[in-house]
Structure 1
Amino acid sequence: MSRPKVFVSRLIPQEALDLLCSRLEVEINSDDHPLSKPELISHLQDKEGLICLLTDIIDEEVLKSAPSLRVVSNVAVGYDNIEVEAATRRRIAVTNTPGVLDETTADFTWALLMATARRVVEGDRFCRAGKFQGWGIMLLLGQDIHGQVLGICGMGRIGRAVARRAKGFGMKIIYTDLRRLEGAIEQELGASYVDKDVLLQEADFVTLHVPLLPETRHYISRRELSLMKKTAHLINASRGPVVDEEALVEALRTRQIAGAALDVFEHEPLIHPGLLELDNVVLAPHIASASVQTRTRMATMAAENMIAALEGRIPPHVVNPEIYR
């Protein structure tokens, strides 16, 4: 009996590939570069499943050009790269990998926060350039983290994981979200609810953990940056377009805020040239979930979703369950 055919758009951890190959007929883009739309479509002509990444745009054109496609399994929590409504109309299951990267992303949020606060990347460049001539009391002065105010925008799973870590630094934690947490959870986290403007005005460090939705595009723009303290730092490990990069460049260049740290970009993989020129911003190439353990689990979850769907079961993490009703 022939096995269902699936296409894997980029290299993924071997453990996930082995799982897929044990149950399905698998073709892989072994060059490990993002495919153009025509290339992707050509690979999908006889495929029932697609394992894809956030860099793959799965739109109406791709979906209607893949006549056999039954499942799109995204190796990510987010799925704004997929036109879910178009998939649902074609009764194509869309799946994601929620929950697995929360703690790892929270770890990296703190790596970014500490790097910008204590000017770690500037110090690294300073040493490599041969400029370090010995200890100096005024050399690369940064800002304390302990005892400061942390403002968390978006108190979902990742936001709460960031808050738990902040307790170890003795920080005052404030947060904003569309929905306020239950009182018991607020008490457990030591977090107080405030509206967005108050958070921006009071926080020494603002971390972003909101999803990318039409209403969160440019969640941080000129008005929001103008409310922040001149000593404040902005950290974004959520989605690039939630920050207006043009406005951020202006705020950093004029020292309207002290610094920023970004793992994601508005027009990724392009980075605003103004950001590249500035010393008071830390830039990372979308690696918040990039630990061996987490990326392997993400890929394995995507493989499990794919196998379940192609074997006639409802996938564990299906985004559009209505196709099964």
Structure 2
Amino acid sequence: MKRIALFLLTNLAVMLVLGIVLSLVFRFTGLDSRSLGGLLLLAAVFGFGGSFISLAMSKWIAKRSTGAVVITQPNNETENWLVNTVAAQAKKAGIRCPEVAIYDAPDMNAFATGMNKNKALVAVSSGLLQSMTRDEAEAVLAHEVSHIASGDMVTMTLLQGVVNTFVIFIARVLGNIIDSALNNNNSESEGRGFSYYIIVFILEMIFGVLASTIVMYYSRQREFSADSGAARLVGKNKMIAALQRLQKSSEPHLEGNMMAFGISGKSSGGLFMSHPPLESRIKALQEA
């Protein structure tokens, strides 16, 4: 319930801010919101704006939605090992050490998030720390550090922004065409009818689902890349062992962007999976 409320409030705030920005842009540029240029501007503001605001807030949202506690001063040997391990890997990868946090969850998982590679967060579940060996956990941490070092969060945000922009723009262009056809091109009618907004809503849902397959395909490729990065940081055998351990774990509980940058994703979903099957990831490492 807390996650749902946080999600709704965050998106409401984002829509409000972008709406104000868009109204100011239209006022100062003099663009007609119904023109192709106006529609493209609207699509770009909401498409890219929503993605980048979400990225900017990603650490804040992740901490509050998962209850992750950042380790500012290690209180035990495990926390000390976590901080030192991530710091060593970050140095080797050529990035600033990210914040390190632990969140309470029974599944074996971890995720990375943050606005850029030098202001990131790596969080691991309590279930991972309890169920994995140090070598396996080290490989998982290396996987997340590799995501950060490769700039995957920003790249995924850019891709999502492009996809969102095209979905919003094409849905509105087609919505105008369909609405005009349904109204027999009545030039005397003023304003857009209710049917236009229904059509746009339906088209955005359809195109959004189709476009998400592109984003998920790219996400799966980045998982292979992060596995390879982890293998370079800590060794191929450790990464393979970690993935084999994950085969015995339960379904992950992470959602949204945190799922995309977690060590493990849902085991089903086909084209909509954010992670490749664990078997495919293990095979790719073995053949590398």
Name the TM-score, length of structure 2 as normaliser. 0.28
More strand by share: 1
Name the TM-score, length of structure 1 as normaliser. 0.25
